[in-house]
Amino acid sequence: MKHHLSIDLETFSSIPIAKAGAQKYIASPDFEILLFAYSLDGAPVKIVDLACGESLPSWLVLALTDPDYIKHAYNAAFEWGCLSKWLRMMLPVDQWRCTMIHGLYCGYTAGLDATGAALGLPQDKRKLSTGKALIRYFCVPCKPSRANGQRTRNYPRHDPDRWSLFKEYCVQDVVTEMEIERQLSAIPVPDSVQKEWETDMRINARGVAVDMDFVHGALSLGETVRERLETEAVQISGLNNPNSIQQLTGWLEGELNEELTDLRKDTVSKLLNREGNSPQVQRMLQIRQELGKTSTKKYDAIEAAVCADGRVRGLLQFYGANRTGRWAGRLVQVQNLPRTYIEPLMLARDLVKRRELDGLHVVYGSVPDTLSQLIRTAFVASDGKVLIDADFSAIEARVISWLAGEEWRLDVFRTHGKIYEASASQMFGVPLERIKKGNPEYALRQKGKVAELALGYQGGAGALIAMGALDMGLTEDELPDIVNRWRDANSRICRLWYDMDRAATTVIQEGGKQRVGCLELERIYDVTCGRDYLTIKLPSQRRLYYVEPSLGENRFGGVSIQYMGSNQTTKKWQMVETYGGKLVENCVQAIARDCLAQAIEHLEAAGFPVVFHVHDEVVIETAPFAAPDAMLEKVVQIMAAPIPWASGLPLGADGWVGECFKKD
């Protein structure tokens, strides 16, 4: 018989967890567990005050490694890491269950209090409002002052009443976690998703090596360049603070004799390309553009998060995008790093490490832009090892083609793979072989490319503009024709949008199930807890959940599909609107995510340890065991292998082997 042990810890560390991450926080020499609250099999919560000398019962210590005791916690990765450090051993990951992941899987938001609120738990089953203040008082260093006797930390003896309240707070967290788990018990996390979470825990604990000599060189050069540019800007303009948007806007308006609405990146670029600017205005705009690239936030984030052994850990949040189940970036945000175009790459890295500012400028031009492009290369293989990088080729385009049964597109992916050229060929009736460099028809490739990037999920002219169509030289007058041509060439994809919309509407109105190809939409009602969901079963058998679905009216006066979710802008839990194309986007990205998750499991099983991954790309660190080409070929074969639950989906992958991370 399995026992269920619910746990919540309160801890102290001098490392700021928000900037440095949990792994570095836990690794700090002054880390300690203050309070250990627990409940066994739903019994009343008990608390052990470790900070005041109490000890865990011997049975509880043994239970932490006993497979007959399943450990539950909200954001269990933290409790698992803390107790692994405390016991001086890596606890078995498969004995843990994360209630936060359970909530995310069921379509809810992250955060114990936020999830409790979304589930409608009464106040006594949610975090106490004083919790954050208590954490600030006992769990982080305090500023020394005359009033507190110059101490740098608050202990229980410094405020016994607060400490008693803190213990209540810790107990309440276990109560809340158990109640959330009970409320979601009708929808268990699938075993496959649980296994993926366990693998993710191991990957995040493994971490990736960082070249700190390079990082420190980049930080030093970035600061020097910023100071030089600011000094020059002051000399040109006479402004006290040329970084001030208000001051710079006022100065430019006076020089240009016109009103400016903003100084965003695209606005500055347009102003720079105008004729008639004075040399002073032109240089100030250039400086503004350069200062926009001098941000060293990514390098700062690496420096803050790197552990004592030179590795950064915790870069990924499992199920961070709960609408699709995709991973989200944390700390350094590896999912939105700039691309790397500069060559020769290793010379640039060497100049940065040697802090040769002038040499870097002579060879590569803009130093801020060069540093920005080099951020990826801070992640390196440790001594004696190499990085293998492999990514799926056009995974979303392949998945949507497969879902819709758009055969001409599937033929492209089964053969040459040139979807931009093939799309332009279909849209404009031009033979594919004519769309190549040197021919006038090659200009059509740009239209095919922007259409492919923008229009797959029911977007129109606005989506083309958002994808940069106007920056590519296209005019607004051309855009409606591009939309119509793409939709005509991809009628099955268009039908998929409308079929999804009709199926979701029918299921919400009438209940039951509706099939759209290999997708199954169903309305599920949890009678026990009064919960209502629209679900979409994916080919992998994983489900997407939309909480409390309903029908409303959209801004065009038509029927709108609605559900409760997290507003992407305000982060508030509220009614969110969706439609057929958006549901298709959710499913496509979710299926692509499942392809990546399966590839990661296969790579790990084959002895290729993943150190992090980005959307459709994996980064592996391994000792060379064969020629680089042979290792890469093996990885690519694993990535592109047919998937049992996705018969006929043509996968492709490519990659490289090297010493540092980059983007070709």
Q: What is the pLDDT of residues 578-599, one digit of tens each?
A: 999 999 999 999 999 999 999 9
Closest C-alpha to 131, from 74, 58, 85: 74
Q: List, for residues 60-98, the tens digit of each pLDDT value.
A: 999 999 999 999 999 999 999 999 999 999 999 999 999
Instruction: Inform me whether the pLDDT recorded for 124 exceeds 70.
Output: no
- Within 10 Å of residue 280's Cβ, how many Cβ atoms? 12
Which two three-digit tokens encode residue 173?
């967290």
Closest C-alpha to 101, from 70, 74, 125, 69: 74
Backbone phi and psi for residue 481, each to the nearest 5 degrees, phi listed first: -65, -40
Cα–Cα dist 393/399, whole Å: 11
- Within 10 Å of residue 427's Cβ, how many Cβ atoms? 22
Cα–Cα dist 211/27, whole Å: 20
pLDDT of residue 128: 58
With left for phi above 0 and alpha for psi between -120 and 50, is residue 56 left, alpha or beta?
Answer: beta
Q: Strand (E) positions, 239-294?
A: none
Q: List, for residues 406-425, the tens digit of each pLDDT value.
A: 999 999 999 999 999 999 99
**Cα-Cα-Cα-Cα dihedral of 489, 493, 496, 501, to 10°?**
-90
Instruction: Inform me whether the pLDDT recorded for 125 exceeds 80.
Output: no
Which two three-digit tokens encode residue 401?
């083609």
Q: Residue 344, preceding bond cis, omega within 30 degrees?
A: yes
How is residue 541 annotated by DSSP?
Answer: S
What is the number of alpha carbons within 13 Å of residue 453 lying toward its C-beta? Answer: 15
Which two three-digit tokens encode residue 233?
């800007």
Cα–Cα dist 292/360, whole Å: 19
Cα–Cα dist 157/472, whole Å: 66
Instruction: Inform me whether the pLDDT recorded for 321 exceeds 80.
Output: yes
pLDDT of residue 572: 87
- The partner residues of 6 in beta bridges, in order of sequence, read 39, 72
Q: List, for residues 442-492, the tens digit of each pLDDT value.
A: 999 999 999 999 999 999 999 999 998 888 888 999 999 999 999 999 999
The DSSP result for 428-478, as a single string, is HT--GGGSSTTSGGGGHHHHHHHHHHHSTTS--HHHHHHTTTTTTT--GGG
Instruction: Inform me whether the pLDDT recorded for 617 exceeds 70.
Output: yes
- End-to-end CA separation in angstroms for the chain: 53
With left for phi above 0 and alpha for psi between -120 and 50, is residue 422 left, alpha or beta?
Answer: alpha
pLDDT of residue 591: 98
pLDDT of residue 294: 61
Cα–Cα dist 10/34, whole Å: 5
418: Cβ contacts below 8 Å, ≥ 6 apart: 412, 432
Closest C-alpha to 612, from 323, 305, 380: 380
Average the pLDDT over 178-191 and give the result. Answer: 96
pLDDT of residue 555: 81
Which two three-digit tokens encode residue 185?
């018990």
pLDDT of residue 557: 82
Average the pLDDT over 591-620 and give the result. Answer: 97
Q: Does residue 487 contact residue 494 with C-beta atoms inside 8 Å? A: yes
Instruction: Inform me whether the pLDDT recorded for 295 exceeds 80.
Output: no
Q: Domains of the chain by range and CATH?
A: 3-185 (3.30.420.10), 207-379 (no CATH), 407-489 (no CATH)
Q: List, for residues 131-150, the tens digit of each pLDDT value.
A: 889 999 999 999 999 989 99
- Within 10 Å of residue 273's Cβ, how many Cβ atoms? 9
Strands 326-329 and 379-380: unpaired
Which residue type sits at 18?
A
Q: List, for residues 625-641, the tens digit of each pLDDT value.
A: 889 999 999 999 999 99
Computed on alpha carbons and rounded to an integer, the radius of gyration of the chain in Å comes to: 28
Kind and range of the H or E run holding 389: strand 386-392
Instruction: Inform me whether the pLDDT recorded for 610 exceeds 70.
Output: yes
Instruction: Inform me whether the pLDDT recorded for 534 exceeds 70.
Output: yes
Q: Does residue 612 contact residue 387 with C-beta atoms inside 8 Å? A: no
pLDDT of residue 129: 63
Kindly indicate the confidence band of residue 512, based on its pLDDT and cuts at 50, 70 and 90. Answer: very high
Place of tokens 């340890």: 609
Q: Does residue 402 contact residue 396 with C-beta atoms inside 8 Å? A: no
pLDDT of residue 292: 75
Full-model pTM: 0.93
Place of tokens 């060929």: 425
Cα–Cα dist 487/498, whole Å: 13
Q: If you average pLDDT over each of 232-246, 495-509, 547-561, which comes out highest?
A: 495-509
Kindly indicate the confidence band of residue 127, based on its pLDDT and cuts at 50, 70 and 90. Answer: low
- Within 10 Å of residue 99's Cβ, how many Cβ atoms? 23
Q: List, for residues 338-366, the tens digit of each pLDDT value.
A: 889 899 999 999 999 999 999 999 999 98
Cα–Cα dist 360/343, whole Å: 12
